[in-house]
Every structure is written in C-alpha cells, then in structure tokens.
Structure 1
Amino acid sequence: MILITGGTGFIGMELINQCLDSSRPFRLLIHPEESTPKLPKGVQFDAAICAFSDERGLKAVLQDVEAVYFISIADQSTANLNLQQTEISEIESFTHAAQQAGVNRFFYLSHLGADRASAFDLLKAKGIAEHIIKEAGIPYTIIRSSIVYGKGDVFSENLARWIRYFPGRVPILGDGNVNLQPLWVQDLVTCMLWAMDMPSTENNIIEIGGPEYLTLLEILQIIAQKLRKKRSFFDVNTNQLQRWLRLIRSLHRDFPRTAYWMDYFIENQICALDSIPRIFGINPARFHQNIDYLIPQTKGI
C-alpha cells in the first residue's frame, strides 16, 4: 500500500485518480485543519485524519504502508505561511515516523531550483526538506518538477484570471523573458508512479519538465489566445507588480491563491528538454494542447 499526503490538491487528486485507474491500493492522509477536503466521489478508498505533529497517530497511519508520496499543499495556500513551521517541520516528523514504521520508499515532490541557500522562501524550504529526506535513512526518490499545470492549479488559472482582469494592456514582471517549462499534471503523476518500479530512481534526485521552453510572455500570449482575449503586455518591476496585486486582492481576496505566486516568475525554472522521454520513455504534452479548462464557464475573473 502507498500513503498519499496532499491528496486534496490538484496534483494529489490526479495521483489518486491514476491509482484508482491502475487498481493500486492507497491510503489518503487528510490533515485535520482541512475543513472541506475535496475527495473522490463514488469510489471506496482508505483514508485517515491525522496531524503531522502527532507522531503516535502517524505511526498508526503508516501501518502496512510500503511507500509514501509526500505532496505538500503549503505552497498552494493564500496565507502568508511560514514554511519553516509548516512544510519543514512536517517533513521532519513524517520522515521520523516513516523510518520507525519501516517504510521502504519515500517519494517527495520538489521544485526545480530547490536549494537550502536559495533567496526564495519556497525554493529554500524545498531544499531543506530534500536534505532532511536524504538524511532520514529511508530509500528515497526526489522529483524536482518544473511548474505544473492542470485544472485547479495555481499557475495557469491565476494567469488566466490576471489576463481577464485587465481589459487592454496587461502588466508583466520585467520583460517577460524568464524561461519556464510547463509540465502537464497527468504526465508528472505518471512519472511519479512509474518511478516506483524503476530501481534507477532509488536514492536519486530526478529533474523533469515539459517538452518546450516558453517565456512567461509566450505563456501569457497562449492563454490569451485560448481565452480569445486580445491583449498587449507592458513591463513593470517587482514593486509595481506588487501594487497591482494589492489592488486586485482588495477586490478578489482569493487572488492569486498562493502566497508564493511571484517566486515562479523571477528566475528561469528549466531542465533538459529530453528529461521525461529519456528517463521514462514518455512524450509529454505541449502546453497549448491541454488548457481548455481555462475557458471560463461563468462570468468574472
């Protein structure tokens, strides 16, 4: 059996769906602070509610678990979270409990650019978490992913709302030439599951991304075209963009649905274009092929 954390986020939900499709037994760990978790309907599965700080509870949850898929939802929160007190402390207690429970494999979803010395809180927290996992004494696989998109994400859906908010000219950070490598959520999760059966991924850090490098400006243009919105874009600096964000948040408190949204657009987040075909034998989808979910079903941003 595998244990899934963060299963109520958009990546975790895709992982659950693929486990159901392939009849892989799994247990979903739900944090007690999740007031209305999104759960699959019409299917039976094992679920447990436990705080990551409850070591005794974690030991019970980890009973009969062979592998853990740790997906954090801390970086998908609108709150200004202290990642030192959330993700890092959760990883510390979780890896300790997993080691005592005899878990055979620990999968951790990280980000390209993760580094304990990073100037960006999100990437620094991921780097520290990676170090804790490597030192825990459990066979691990760390997957550093490029930015992930799909229905319910905090990347493309926020950009679509950003475009719809401005009727003519849309502000863009810098010159929009930061390079990204969007990865479709289904391709990411397929790699995560296949890695379990690949000995070469054990005790290894794997960097994967989509099949193309796109600048932020190119991504915005693709989304605008999908939305059938004619837009031009103008450069702003970080302070100016923050002012625009404060204005939008005063009108729409759930925008941009993550406290670390801007971290994705400040520096390049890319890896080898052939990473997924070379490692997993999969040809990942191009960004424009799977973004019909961005077409709004109702009015508003």
Structure 2
Amino acid sequence: MILVTGASGFVASHLIPRLQREGHRLRCLVTNAAEGGRIKAPGAELAIGNVTDPASLPDAMEGVETVIHLVAVIREKGPFNFRKVNVEGTQNVVEAAKKAGVRRFIHMGALGATPDPAYKYLNSKWLGMEAVKASGLDWSILMPSVMFGEGAGFIASLLRSIHMAPFIVPVAGDGKTMLQPIWVGDVANCVLKLLEGQKIGQSVAIGGPEIMTYDELIGYILAALGEKRFRLHVPRWLMKPGVAVMEALLSNPPITMVEFKSMEIPNITDPEAVEKEFGFKPMPIRDGLGYLKIKT
C-alpha cells in the first residue's frame, strides 16, 4: 500500500495514473470528499485528513508500506502558510509514518532549497527536507527544477505575465536568471525509480536536459503559443513595487514577492543529472509545450 499526500495536486495528477498502471495499491490523502472526487484514480482508497492536523493522519497510515509526500504550498493563503504546511506538515507526516511502522518515505523537495530564511518558500522546503533526513526512515528526496506540463503552476504564472499587456512581456532585471525546466512526466518517472528502491538515504537534484535563461524560457513559450512579443526588461528595483501592488490587489497575481525574491537564485543542476541518476533522457522543453496551444 502506497499513501500519496497532495493527491489532488499537479505532480500527483501525472504520477497516480502511472502508479495505477503498474499495479500499485494506492491510498490518496485528501482534505474532504469533494477534493477526492477530483482525483482520477478509479479503485484507489481515499483517506480524509490534512497534514496540518496530526490527529487526522494515523488512520491514513494504517497498513501503509510507502509514503510519497507531495504536499506543499508555493503561495501562502490564510492559515496555510509555508511554515504550517511545508515545514510542520512534513514533520507531522514523518511522525505519523514512524508511529505506523512505515519504512519507505519519498519526499518531493525543491531545487534551490536553502537554509537562508530570506527566501521564505525555498527555506521552508529546506526545513521540510531536513525533517525527512532526520526521520530514521528509508527516505529519498527528489529535488526538481521548475516543472512544465499540463497543470504546471509555474508555466501558468508565466502565461499570465505574458498576457498582462498587449505586444510586450515585462521581465524583471536582465532576464538572465538560470532555469532548467523538467517535464512533470519525467519527474513521475524518477519517483517510480525511487519506488524500486533506488537512492535510499539520498537527495537527488534533477532538471531538464537544457539550462536556459528566463528570457529563453519566455521565447520557448511564445513559440509554443505562436505569438511574437517584445520583452521589456525592467530593473528589479523598479519592478519590485509593482509586484507588491499586484500581490495586494489581485487574488492570483502573475508573481508574488516571495517568487520575485526566489528569482535571485539559479534553479539549475547537472544537465545530465536525470540520465546519470535514473538512466533515461528527459524531454526537452521544446517538445513538451504543445499543450499550451491547445489550452489557448
């Protein structure tokens, strides 16, 4: 039995069908029945609970051999902040797993996670990863770069930025922030490899086969959309107040102050990391953005 937390999320939407095709027994942790109804996992068990509520987790862990912990918030909303979900939530799941006798624990970390509290989201991911490392379980941590694929929040945010104004795309700074986008299907492939027993006690950084600048990523997205726009580079000091205003006024801004700050850190690793660590070649982004044209 495998327990998947964050079962209604982006990565899980691509991973769960793969797990089912391979014959794994699944239990999906969801916060309520309505959330459970959105999961395309026929035959999987549903467990009602929340990682922020330790008392709701023991029943979900009963009979579980492996936990795949995918829950995280990338934007804070009300009580569900980085500390409560990404740090304390991970600690709660780890403790519940230990008490239930679970041995295998696969955790979705983040490339760029840092002990520096100035980077709130990346620091919360680092603290969660540290809790997993100290668990005493047979843990593995996967640390992907930004992901693309159907439902990718990062790409959706870029689309909102692209379409904020006609003819131009506002870019913070010089557009040279380094990224290494990886297809979510390849991240799912890596998780399946971890389920085979690979990389126990290891944190593995992964990214796509190409390191690119933020400007180049925007270029790939525009090409997928069949659009041509001028990239307007705005000094970071000048854009910062605008980001703060958008965050204050919009329910779903293209970028938040936390994300704006995180762009200071390159989000890259070895371009051959996936092939070296897991034995297959990941998809180049130019081959994986066709869904954008269909959606628009």
TM-score in terms of structure 1 length: 0.89
Aligned to 1:149: 148
Greater mean alpha carbon deviation, residues 19-28 or residues 243-252: 243-252
Paired with 1:26 and 1:256, the residues of 2 have a C-alpha distance of 35
Cα offset, 1:127, TM superposition: 1.0
Give the distance between the partners of 2:105 and 2:57, measured in 1 at CA: 15
2:229: which partner in 1? 231
* Superposed CA offset, 1:52-108 (max 9, x none): 244343111101111111112311566695312222111122111111111111111
Q: Is the 8 A contact 1:182 1:209 kept in 2?
A: yes
**What is the deviation of 1:266?**
2.3
Aligned to 1:21: 21
1:39 CA drift (Å): 2.5
Aligned equivalent of 2:206 = 208
CA RMSD of aligned residues (A): 2.4
- Give, in angstroms, the shift of residue 278 of structure 1: 0.9
- 1:214-233 deviation per Cα after TM superposition (whole angstroms, max 9, x unaligned): 10000001111221221111
Higher relative contact order (CA 8 A, sep 6+): 1
Unaligned residue ranges in structure 2 (runs of 5+): none
CA distance in 1, matches of 2:41, 2:3: 20
Q: In structure 2, what is the equivalent of residue 136 of structure 1?
A: 135
- Between the aligned partners of 1:224 and 1:251, the Cα distance in structure 2 is 27
Task: Flag the 1:139–1:36 CA change in 2: closer, same or farther, 3 A.
Answer: closer
User: Distance in 1 between the 2:114 and 2:93 partners?
Assistant: 20
Matched, 1:280 2:267: no
Q: How far did residue 153 of structure 1 move?
A: 1.2
Write out per-residue CA displacement over residues 156-185 of structure 1, whole angstroms, 9 at most, x where no aligned residue: 122122112221222101100111000000
State the alpha-carbon separation in 2 of the partners of residues 157 and 130 from structure 1: 26
- Higher mean Cα deviation, 215-224 or 289-298? 289-298
Q: Does residue 1:11 correspond to 2:11, yes or no?
A: yes
Range moving further from structure 2, 116-125 or 231-240: 231-240
Q: Cα–Cα, structure 1 residues 166 and 284, in superposed 2: closer, same or farther, change >3 Å?
A: same
How far apart are residue 263 of structure 1 and its match? 4.5
Contact persistence 1:211–1:286 (CA under 8 A): yes
Alpha-carbon offset, residue 41 of structure 1? 4.2
Q: Judging changes above 3 Å, is the alpha-carbon distance between structure 1 residues 296 and 240 closer, same or farther for their aligned structure 2 residues?
A: farther
**Count of residues in correspondence between the two structures:** 296
CA distance in 1, matches of 2:52, 2:230: 48
**Normalising to structure 2: TM-score of the pair?**
0.91
The alpha-carbon distance between structure 1 residues 26 and 269, as it changes in their structure 2 partners (threshold 3 A), is same
Structure 1 residues 116 and 42 mapped into 2: Cα distance closer, same or farther (>3 Å)?
A: closer
Q: Which amino acid aligns with 1:237?
A: P
Q: What are the ranges of 5 or more consecutive residues in structure 1 without an aligned counterpart?
A: none
